[in-house]
Amino acid sequence: MFQFVRGPRTARAGGAQRPSLVQLLCLAALGVAALCPPLSAQDSKDKTIEQLLKELAAERAAREALEKRVEQLEAGKGVSNDELERRLQGLVAPGELQQQPPRPPSSPAFYDPAIGVFMDSVADAGNFDQRLGEDTDNFRLREAEVDMRLPLSPFAEGVAIFSWENAGNNEFEATVEEGYANINIGEMTDTNVDTTAKLGRFRPIFGRNNQLHLHDWLQVYQPLPVRDLLGPEGLVGEGVMLHQPIVDWEGEGGLGRTVNLDLSVVNGELFVGDTALGESAADAGLGLQSDDTMVVARVSQFSELDTLSDIEFGLSAIEPLGGNAVTTDSGERVDVHYYDADITWRSRSAEHGVGSWLVQAEGMRAQVDDNAAGFVPDTQNQGWWLTVQRQTSPNWYVGVLYGTSDLLNSTAQQDSIAPYVTWYADEFFRVRGEIEHLTQSGGGANDNISDANRLLLEFTWNFGVHAPHPYWVNK
């Protein structure tokens, strides 16, 4: 037992000293430290438990919020559309919806057009260059054509056809073959009419072959009257063309009958340029121009003879609508009138077409009076042609073309016969072989040609989308 006294400490019996206060505190601290674990480990354990409890509480709160949202959605199932619209209006400032501009209607014109590419080449061997002065005895890519089509609206389609024609000497001339809007008048006006219209540049319907592009021809070249009286590739005009079914009825056995009118109003420039009349004026050192319009009309009747055969008759005319429809560059009028009659007969042995026959005949008359210019005397030139073709197998066609025609600016007459055979490797590649024999008589002692012959080998191919062929053009 220890006793604290004031003054100097003195030892009691035995000589032992009493411990000081500092020593007692240190001994107490050491004892506590020996009995207790380290404070840092306990603190870390308590911290981990606290964190887990907080995360568990957060998950519980999120689950409760989700359950509450589901209950709200379930309760809102019975809300009417009017109530939903009222709530929507409440979220938008008054007048804000009315201030928004209307959304423009979607149109197919925003999308890419259907594009088809056509190419045609011909290998030519013979003496046409010696007899007629034509550029022959060569191999040429005659033409490359790009056909683009796209619906513009529910009642209109846009068509653009560009061509690059071989001008010789390794040069090509680019031109707009056709470019027009094809309009369904009934759908545009919401009326019960079957009228359609073309606006722009197009091939007017005159006779049977003028509407065809080069890659659709049945032979390597157009029939002789088309070449001699119209031009090497027919006529192209700018204006408006209407197609109107006049009569449509059903005969015995459900066979159809249709009468159609194709009426075009075009510029007189129809005959300017690379046409038979334009070339005649150029040979005389004159140019042609136009200040008035011309009308091109064709009335046709199509009749089904039975389920596998049909026949069509057509009458066509080209007439000026003004005295200055065609004039020379010096202002002298050229009075132009053209008339045409055509017939097409088809017969098929079966629906697949093998064994089919195609017979076409057309007669054409051109009445031209230049009144004073002198390059075309007051003449009436005429010609006609006949095609007979048979499909012998799914890929092979054989035929013959005969034509006879006056020359537009001459008293000479030409006759041509051309047998041909066509092989379709598939829908995109065609090979055609043809032999043409041409004679010419009249027009002077030096104009008689009795042995103009040429062997033609034509290759035509296409890729991409292409428009349907006329119904009577096989493939």
| Per-residue pLDDT at 265 exceeds 70 | yes
| Residue 353: CA count within 13 A, CB half-sphere | 15
Tell me whether residue 356 is in a domain. yes
Mean pLDDT of the chain: 83
Mean pLDDT, range 363-376, rounded to an integer: 80
Check which CATH number belongs to the domain holding 436 and give it: 2.40.160
Is 430 among the domain residues?
yes
Asked whether the beta carbons of 228 and 383 are under 8 A apart, the reply is yes
Least confident range from 4-18, 42-56, 438-452: namely 4-18
**Strands annotated E in 6-80:** none
pLDDT tens string 241-254 = 999 999 988 877 77
Per-residue confidence (pLDDT) for residue 252, from 0 to 100: 75
pLDDT, position 142 = 94
Q: For residue 32, is pLDDT > 50?
A: no
- The reply to whether 427 falls in a domain is yes
Residue 411 inside a domain? The answer is yes
Number of structural domains the chain divides into: 1
Closest CA to 335 of 345, 347, 325: 325
Provide the sign of the torsion angle of the four alpha carbons 442, 447, 448, 453, taken in this order.
Answer: negative
pLDDT of residue 93: 59
Q: Does some domain include residue 357? A: yes
Domain range enclosing 243: 207-464
Asked if residue 408 is part of any domain, the answer here is yes
Contact 356, 324 (CB under 8 A): no
User: Cα(473)–Cα(186) distance, rounded to whole angstroms?
Assistant: 28
pLDDT value at 30 more than 60: no
> pTM score, two decimals?
0.74
pLDDT at 197: 97
pLDDT score for 39: 46
CA R_g for the chain: 47
Whether residue 249 lies inside any domain: the answer is yes
Residue 321 maps to a domain: yes
Residue found by looking up tokens 């290759």 in the block: 459
Average the pLDDT over each of 65-69, 129-133, 308-312, 375-379 and give the range with the smallest value: 375-379
Q: What is the pLDDT of residue 104?
A: 56
> Is the pLDDT assigned to residue 110 strictly greater than 50?
yes
Lowest pLDDT segment from 35-39, 212-216, 414-418, 419-423: 35-39
